[in-house]
Structure 1
Amino acid sequence: MIIAFHREPRGRYHSIFTRPDGAVLKLQGGSYNKLGGGVRVPHDIAHLIVEQTLALRGGLWGVIAAGGLVMNLEYVGGKKPAHAEQRSWAITDAAGETLRQAEVVVRAVADALAGTAGSSLAGHMGERWAVPVTREQLELMGGQLRNSAARWNQVPEGGTLEMTWHTR
């Protein structure tokens, strides 16, 4: 799934993409994750990188690709399946805990990269939300997040940065 992240005025952004079922959706973003050294990356890009690296299929992008809905997500075109809203919220509800877990993990990874996660990444995630993260995965995510932040910083207002969610 190709996701186009659009830079808006005043640091805002949104993404537009076509789900595998043909629905075209817009996700309004706006928040950022700090990575240390003044580097920050759009939160929804951080979700994409962390969820793909750690295979968190029940996170934001996995739920959306599967047909789920989240806050700030709206249909803007394409094929809207019959009973789409009811079906979509059922997918999101079924993801429940894993969707919340992805939120915690993305924040913990960003905090670890920024040097604010304390003594351990798993401890920062908390026992309930912890997922195994190797040093190699953390380094890979760090490189990808910083690279994406640098690419994002080159996007002019009104421009886009395309990234891919691999639905495997």
Structure 2
Amino acid sequence: MQLTFQHDPRGESLTLIRRADGAVFTLTSYSRKWRVPHDLAHAVTERELGIADGIFGVIAAGAVFATMTQLEGKTRYDAKVRSDRILKAAKGVGISEAIAAVIHEAVEKRRPAPYAEVRESWGVISQDPCPYSDEEIDRATTVLRELGEQWSARPEPLEFPWPARLVASDPKRTRVRAR
């Protein structure tokens, strides 16, 4: 999957999503108050921390959000059912929302990598120890800071390749055959 973050004339950002299945979507981001687009914060956080079932991992698997518009490609006959199934199984969307928000805020406010804040957010989600090391949190923060600077300095679109390994699972409904 390929993501292209584009400047929207209204002050927002627009993400062009080219999925491996040939479908092309736009995703409107409502983040005018931020210097760095919130969807870019999601993409960086999910990619750098390896969250396969976050926002962009579920999109890669076939999920479609209400803020997405399909521009190209054939719509699957079961697109809605498939999307719902993938979203229902994905636990990483909530994790991504929490962690990306913390990293995004640190970048926006020009603070250092938010190690303690990420662990605190994780603690709200799970009782398990936070799986992200200081090195991973630092890398996500640094990459978002660098891409945010590129985004702010240039009007050109920002290309963001999505790793093929970060795709949410699609728990296809299995049918039990009567014998």
Scaled by the length of structure 1, what TM-score is found? 0.82
| Contact in 1 for aligned 2:31/2:37 (Cα 8 Å) | yes
TM score, norm. by length of structure 2: 0.78
Q: Percent identity?
A: 31
User: Could you say which residue in structure 2 is the equivalent of 1:37?
Assistant: none
> In 2, distance between residues paired with 1:26 and 1:12?
13
8 Å contact kept, 1:112–1:121: no
C-alpha contact (below 8 Å) 1:118/1:124 kept by paired residues: no
Question: Whole-Å Cα distance in 1 between the matches of residues 84 and 138 of structure 2?
Answer: 35
Task: Tell me whether 76-85 or 123-132 shows the greater mean CA deviation.
Answer: 123-132
Shift of 1:153: 1.1
Q: Which residue in 2 is equivalent to 1:123?
A: 120
Shift of 1:105: 1.2
Q: Secondary structure at the match of 2:71?
A: strand
CA–CA separation in structure 1 for the residues paired with 2:116 and 2:19: 39
**Which of 66, 75, 88 is the matching residue for 2:70?**
75
Task: Provide the aligned length of Structure 1 versus Structure 2.
Answer: 160
Cα deviation digits, residues 36-73 of structure 1 (max 9, x gap): xxxx4211111111111111111000000000122301
- Asked whether 1:101 is paired with 2:98, we answer no
Which entry has the higher C-alpha Rg, 1 or 2?
2
The offset of 1:32, in angstroms, is 6.5
RMSD, matched Cα: 2.4
Tell me what 1:140 maps to: 139
* 1:167 alignment partner in structure 2: 164
Aligned-partner Cα distance in 2 for 1:153–1:108: 20
| Secondary structure, counterpart of 1:9 in structure 2 | coil
For 1:9-158, list aligned pairs within 5 A.
9-31=9-31, 40-95=35-90, 97-112=91-106, 114=109, 115=111, 120-129=117-126, 131-156=130-155
Extract unaligned runs of 5+ from structure 1: 35-39
Please state whether the residue corresponding to 1:53 is helix, strand or coil: helix
Shift of 1:119: 5.0
User: Relative to structure 1, is the Cα distance of residues 15 and 120 closer, same or farther in structure 2, using a 3 angstrom cutoff?
Assistant: closer
Q: Which runs of 5+ in 2 are unaligned?
A: 166-179
Q: After superposing the two structures, state which structure 1 stretch, 131-140 or 21-30, moved more.
A: 131-140
Q: 1:11 to 1:18 in 2, by over 3 A?
A: same
Is the partner of 2:124 in helix, strand or coil? coil
Residues 53-62 or 116-125, more deviating: 116-125
